[in-house]
Structure 1
Amino acid sequence: MRSFVIVAIMILLIPRLEDGFFDLEFLENYYAENDLNEDETSDDDNYDDDEHWLETEIDYEVKWLMGIESTECEKSSDIQNLTLLSTRRYGKALVIDGLLQSSELDEYVYHESLVHPSLLIHHEPKNVFIMGGGGGYAAREVLKHKHVEKVVICEIDKEVVNLCREHMTGIQDTFNDKRVQIVFNDAKDELLKWEEKIDIIIGDVCDPSESSPSNNLYVKSFYEHVVKPKLKGKGIFVTQAGPAGIFSHKTMFSLVYVTLKQVFAYVVAYTALVPSYGDACGWIMASDEPINIEAKQLDKMIDERIRGSLKYLDGSIIAASTVLNKPLKKSLDEETYVLTEENICFVRGHVQN
């Protein structure tokens, strides 16, 4: 009964896109780019069949539903199961081992937030190492920076790159860019043998789970003995840090924050709402150099360094994203649980489709 009430409340409170609540330019652009109109995407059918919904458990007793048009592709590698869905609101969506990774309509919110703050704060980033990022979107954002000379995508699963190259739109130029080097390996193993120092290391890997190959990329020993030694003196590490909602942030966000605080002198957490996730997402920057976040300076860097324009971020939004609400700030101040190989925590959010 309790679950039913919560789902009913969510349905009542979360308006449909055609009702005008999401009167945003990105939605209009998505319709235009994909030759759609609102009538074509309206919910004409009663989708009561479970097969037509992507179901995500985002918290205890709370599930997030996304309408599915069709399953475009399913693949199983030696590492994980990959599914590409065509959804009724968010375009194509990539699901790995039951976890929603990204959707075409709003992926830029996540990837701009992941990439640009650290690259704008760094004085002159030239080489960037992306842990994961096989979809190509993080590298796409990195390549917008004029000073960048080399981008490494270190993806453990070749099938992720193959699937995205074949089915996802707008990233072919990224994979074909001469500055991009794709390596298929575990990020920890690759970094251990990497010889050159790196300006920016980006963690764009799956949340920890019982079956995830990324669990060892969130622990103190990895940050201390692998990531930090590979950064240049003024280098910055940034990682996605899972859900960052008022009720969901304690499963990963606050734990990654306190773990990085054990290793780096300066650590900054920030968040943004990613609509397709049904929750806020968190990222954390870490460095042994001060991390200065000043809106006017960031706008100046965007004007000087970025080719083209950003769809989501500007200096003020980046600065505002670091202002955490009281429950999050309290958790980050009081958290003491440090992630190690022996006590890694798993994130809720597995889906059924």
Structure 2
Amino acid sequence: MSKQIEEELEVGFRAVYRIDKILHSGSSPFQTVDIVDLAPFGRTLLIDGMIQSSQVDEFVYHESLVHPAMLLHPTGVKTVYIGGGGEGSTAREVLRHPSVTKCVMVDIDADVVSFCKMHLPENAHAFADPRLDLVIADAKGQLEAAPDGSFDLIIMDLDDPLEGGPCYQLYTKEFYATAKAKLAPDGILVTQSGQAGIKQHKSVFTPIYRTLCTVFPQVVGYTQAVYSFCDEWGWNIAFNTPREGGMMMSVAEVDARIAQRLPGSELKFLDGVSFQGLPALSKLHRANMAAEERVLSTASGTFLFMHSQGLCVAEANAASANGGADVAAKRVG
């Protein structure tokens, strides 16, 4: 009998994957961590039972997270702060850019970093790059301690906002205000923003967009289908100084910037043509973003908690905000 893993994508919707090999399965002080070879996806990292990245398409997620902001920066990014990103793929994409002189990556979970170093060899060169400053600590505290104006780019590559998990307070307006202060005048912040398909985009994607809009003068949401996530995925990019046209760049301009800023490094997914599709959101997406009123805040105790890759919205007072809850449904066996 083959081993399988079951993932609850939302209430009433589960997916079952065949496991070819289990490389690691255990718990860190913060979360469950599994690295497995799945039949449809290849080597796969799961956190709290949810697929975080898979060999078959992680480059789609990570190129979409990193390079739009890197290419949109007016002069080329030199200093980068990554919150999370323990598997090393986000740092790998950042360090493709020769302009980068320092990349600070802060992940709270040493076990995740250690296991990914051991089992994801495609990121070995990123972990060995002297420009990478890897810190095992709380991403919020480390960013708060940095001098104002320290970074050209802040990338939040966090776990999903799970109740009782380590990351949900890093999706709030208070945290984004801190991040804004740590950016240079032309600085940019980009954050992963959860499911963003036609059904689930109101779960996390639009509230994060609205929350960022309370802090930054210009915010653009964008999406891309990620096969192993069984949905479109969302990101929100926030500009410290408004950029005329937001994310808009012509095909020729994007291709020229890729050639200039990533010399000799060919991207697998992103080019001038595919870039055009990222911010081309549906009529329904745009209407719901405009109508969104939820602002995530530690002061008001308003958070969004995801159940697996579905949603559970919670209104919590400050005293109970750290309470635990059942999260992803996962079974290996």
Q: How would you bin the TM-score normalised by the shorter chain?
A: 0.7 to 0.9
In the alignment, structure 1 residue 303 sits paired with structure 2 residue 256: no
1:198, 1:230 within 8 Å by CA — same for their partners in 2? Answer: yes
* 1:174 matched to 2:126: yes
- 1:136 aligns with 88
For the 8 Å contact 1:59–1:247, the answer to whether it is kept is no
Tell which deviates more after alignment, 284-293 or 141-150.
284-293
Give matches, 1:211-226, under 5 Å.
211-224=164-177, 226=178
Q: In the alignment, what sits opposite 1:68?
A: 19
1:335 aligns with 2:286: no
Structure 1 residue 73 displacement after superposition: 0.7
Secondary structure, counterpart of 2:6 in structure 1: strand
TM-score by length of 2: 0.88
Q: Does 1:199 align with 2:152?
A: yes
Tell me by how many angstroms 1:57 deviates: 2.3
Alpha-carbon distance in structure 1 between the residues aligned to 2:210 and 2:14:
28
Contact 2:85 2:107 in 1 (8 A): yes
- 8 Å contact 2:253–2:272 — kept in the other structure? yes
**Residue 248 of structure 2, aligned match among 285, 290, 293:** 293
C-alpha separation between the residues in 2 aligned to 1:168 and 1:294?
A: 34
What amino acid sits opposite 2:158 in the alignment? V
Computing the radius of gyration from Cα coordinates, the structure with the larger value is 1
- Retained in 2: the 8 A contact 1:249–1:328? yes
Note if contact 1:86-1:93 (Cα within 8 Å) is conserved in structure 2: yes
1:314 is aligned to 271
Q: Distance in 2 between matches of 1:270 and 1:56?
A: 25
Equivalent positions of 1:88-167 (< 5 A) are 88-123=39-74, 124-167=76-119
Alignment check: 8 A CA contact 1:140 1:174 kept? yes
* Distance in 2, Cα, partners of 1:57 & 1:329: 28
- TM-score, normalization by structure 1: 0.83
Q: Distance in 1 between matches of 2:15 and 2:281?
A: 24
SS at match of 1:171: helix
Q: Unpaired runs of 5+ in structure 2?
A: 309-327
Structure 1 runs not aligned, ≥5 long: 1-48
Q: Give the Cα separation in 2 of the matches to 1:70 and 1:299.
A: 39
User: Which has the larger helix fraction?
Assistant: 1
Pairs aligned (count)? 303
Deviation, structure 1 residue 58: 2.2
1-side partners of 2:108 and 2:122: how far apart? 22
State the identity as a percent. Answer: 38
Matching residue of 1:31: none
- Partner residue of 2:330? 352
Q: Give the distance between the partners of 2:12 and 2:288, measured in 1 at CA.
A: 22
Alpha-carbon distance in structure 1 between the residues aligned to 2:80 and 2:248 = 20
CA RMSD of aligned residues (A): 1.4
Amino acid at match of 1:120: L
Cα deviation, residue 104, structure 1:
1.3
Name the CA shift for 1:221/1:113 in 2 (closer, same or farther; >3 Å). Answer: same
Of 210-219 and 343-352, more deviation after overlay is shown by 343-352
Q: CA deviation at 1:292?
A: 4.2
Is the strand fraction higher in 1 or 2? Answer: 2
| Residues 22-72 of structure 1, C-alpha deviations (whole Å, 9 max, x = no match) | xxxxxxxxxxxxxxxxxxxxxxxxxxx7x7333222233222332222322
**One-letter amino acid of the counterpart of residue 221, structure 2:** A
Write the distance in 2 (CA, Å) between the matches of 1:246 and 1:133: 27
Higher mean C-alpha displacement, 103-112 vs 91-100: 91-100
Most deviating of 270-279 and 286-295? 286-295
